[in-house]
Structure 1
Amino acid sequence: MSRIAVSAFYKFVELPDFAALRPALLAAAQAHGIRGTILLAPEGINGTIAGEAHALAQMMGFLRSLTGLGDLESKESHAEQMPFKRLKVRLKKEIVTMGVPGLRPAEMAGAYVEPKDWNALISNQDVLVIDTRNSFEFQAGTFTNAVDPGTNSFGEFPAYVARTLHSEKDRPIAMFCTGGIRCEKATSYLRAQGFSKVYHLKGGILKYLETIPREQSLWQGSCFVFDEREGLGHGLAIEKPEG
């Protein structure tokens, strides 16, 4: 078993006093030897952090003790070595940047789809399956029949919708991303634009790879992650992207 545990998490929740949380998060993470990045914004929290397994468990317990974060979910994996060089707790306008004011993902997100139900949904030929990640992530790996919007940043997603999906407002649309945060915000954007049948993979690709056996999987390739591991495969084992 690897010594270093890694936790990826996010939650859309209204945090009007988000800036006041930063000192306590910094102190708790430093006390437990945690490294990685935590983002705080009025719309919620987003982070990937790592540390010794017992220390990371204590840090996640601290996060869940904060108001509004009691049900904070996380995707757990491991690394042979610490994948982060330092600790950062940053204050942001958005926990994932789309640049569209007024979105309320905590209230407007599309329907969650559990990993065990994902294969059936995306195997339906009537369903449009969209990868909401950047094109280089798509090239490393994606789901069977998924569409690449051709974006280089998440902020380009609204332009893709305006350019490509204007005639698809009544079609079932299923979206996914690495950990769930981008596709959850993307579904809230689509619903705000009048799309009626919008779904997203709960827990993202990471939860799917963690829970669905390889022999039952519709995933192809490696899931790019933004740390020194670079890519993960089934069982969240390290699997470097090709090329």
Structure 2
Amino acid sequence: MAVLHNRVSQAELKKLLHQETTPRTTISFYQYFTIGDPQQFRDEMYKALNALKVFGRIYIAQEGINAQISLPADNFDALKAYLYSIDALNGLRLNIAVDDDGKSFWVLKIKVRDKIVADGITDPSFSMENKGRYVNAEQMNELLKDDNTVVIDMRNHYEYEVGHFEKAIEIPSDTFREQLPMAVEMMQDKKEQNIIMYCTGGIRCEKASAYMLHNGFKNVFHLEGGIINYAKQTKANELPSKFIGKNFVFDDRLGERITEDIIAKCHQCGKPADTHTNCKNDGCHLLFIQCEDCAAQYDGCCSETCQTTYNLPAEVQKELRKGVDKGMMVFNKSKKRLRPRLGDKDQ
């Protein structure tokens, strides 16, 4: 029987990745469609993608598929042919990363979930069949000129902080399930206006647009392919970018540069910076923004306390971590505190 999951240690897999000489391409894609047997679909896909040396994170649910992957560039056409051989994925848009070093993933993980985007929606009458209208980069830029247009960012705070569209409204929460009802409440007096929703790769804003229509809004749009596709289209068509700064991504890169603007600040010294990092203390791993000077001063840690721990012998650190739940922490400057990162790694 074929092995349908990885059995090699994470450390060894990372080592093997960095020894590769073949260039890799980072890709994301999603599709809402009905999958009758998600587990069978998952197992068949694992065998096909593993044979193509695909690494990455894929979620399968009855409502569809959500994927962020990398693969040898020479295998791109084979991947495309395989995906397009699946009726519901024929013609699927594949978002190719903008700022890519090919080292985004080092293992293939395909998981079956209840939803490909954790949305908290319990209303049985909600349907993804009625969703907002797509807009491309050129249409997005034109709509942004209209004072009647409202632009809503459906990403988390730490994503918004390093880059966003001009005039974009932040929904102040770090989970998509909280943002949906908040967006409806915040926009109650704007039901007749043009509302454009956007996210990283399209999956969240597409569902959000359907949810807004479900709640009585009329003129709802969503950015096709999200920020990733927008950046690709503006570059290809020599359009001005109305997205400013860096696009946060949920892989080892933690961001891809869209414009040279740095709109965020180092969480330690306050100097302009937009490089996300995880605290090097294995008992913390806080996601935060750190400039180069502070990275050197604190050894890549978020505080002097973590720096002290990080420089202790490995066995001592291991003892200190016993029984400690670091809770996937993220620095949330808007709330002046740290909070668990509960949101899904969705595009």
TM-score normalised according to structure 2 size:
0.65
| Structure 1 position 20, deviation (Å) | 1.6
Task: Give yes or no for contact 2:201–2:228 (8 Å, CA) kept in 1.
Answer: yes
Query: Is residue 148 of structure 1 aligned with residue 170 of structure 2?
Result: yes
Runs of 4+ in 1 over 4 A off after TM superposition: none
Inter-CA distance 68–221: structure 2 relative to 1 (3 Å threshold)? same
Tell me the residue number matched to 1:36: 56
Q: Following TM superposition, by how much is the alpha carbon of 1:57 offset from its aligned partner in structure 2, in angstroms?
A: 3.0
**Partner SS for 1:129:** strand
Q: Identity of aligned pairs, percent?
A: 31
- The more displaced of 2-11 and 27-36 is 2-11
Instruction: Say which of 182, 187, 196 aligns to 1:165.
Output: 187
Give TM-score, length-normalised by structure 1: 0.91
**Aligned partners of 1:43 and 1:95 also within 8 Å:** yes
3-state secondary structure, aligned to 2:217: coil
In our comparison, the structure showing a higher alpha carbon Rg is 2
Alpha-carbon shift at residue 18 of structure 1 (Å): 2.4
Aligned partner of 1:208 among 226, 230, 252: 230
Which stretches in structure 2 are left out of the alignment for 5+ residues? 1-21, 260-272, 276-288, 290-347
Counterpart residue type for residue 86 of structure 1: V
Counterparts in 2 of 1:90-169, with a 5 A limit?
Answer: 90-101=111-122, 102=124, 103-105=126-128, 107-169=129-191
What is the CA distance between 1:28 and its match in structure 2? 1.0
Q: Distance in 2 between matches of 1:203 and 1:126?
A: 23
Secondary structure of residue in 1 paired with 2:88: coil
102, 109, 112: which one pairs with 1:88? 109
Aligned counterpart, 1:218: 242
Q: Which residue of 2 aligns with 1:178?
A: 200
* RMSD after superposition: 1.9
- 2:96 corresponds, among 58, 76, 82, to 76
Match of 1:8 in 2: 28
Q: CA deviation at 1:159?
A: 2.8
Give 1:60 shift.
2.9
Residues 135-183 of structure 1 deviation map (CA, whole Å, 9 limit, x = unaligned): 1100010000000011111011233134312222222111100001100
SS at match of 2:180: helix
- Return the alpha-carbon distance in structure 1 between the equivalents of residues 239 and 63 of structure 2: 38
Q: Can you list the C-alpha shifts for 1:40-74, whole angstroms capped at 9, x where unaligned?
A: 11111110110101223312321221131112111
**Counterpart position of 2:65:** 45
C-alpha spacing 1:172/1:81, structure 2 compared with 1 (3 Å): closer
Counterpart AA for 2:87: T
**1:161–1:81 CA distance, 2 compared to 1 (3 A):** closer
Task: For residues 89-112 of structure 1, give each alpha carbon's deviation from its aligned partner in whole angstroms, at most 9, with x where no partner exists.
Answer: 11111111111033322x111000
1:215–1:65 CA distance, 2 compared to 1 (3 A):
closer
For 1:215 and 1:188, how far apart are their aligned partners in 2? 28
Quickly say closer, same or farther: Cα 1:57–1:49, change in 2 above 3 A: farther
For 1:144 and 1:32, the matched residues in 2 are separated by 40
Report the number of matched residues: 237
Q: Which amino acid aligns with 1:96?
A: V
How far is the alpha carbon of 1:224 from its aligned partner? 0.3
Where relative contact order (Cα < 8 A, 6+ residues apart) is larger, the structure is 1
DSSP 3-state at the match of 2:87: coil
Which runs of no fewer than 5 residues in structure 1 stay unpaired? none
Q: 1:63-90: CA deviations, max 9, x gaps?
A: 2211311121111136334311311111
Q: How far apart, in 1, do the equivalents of 2:57 and 2:132 lie?
A: 27
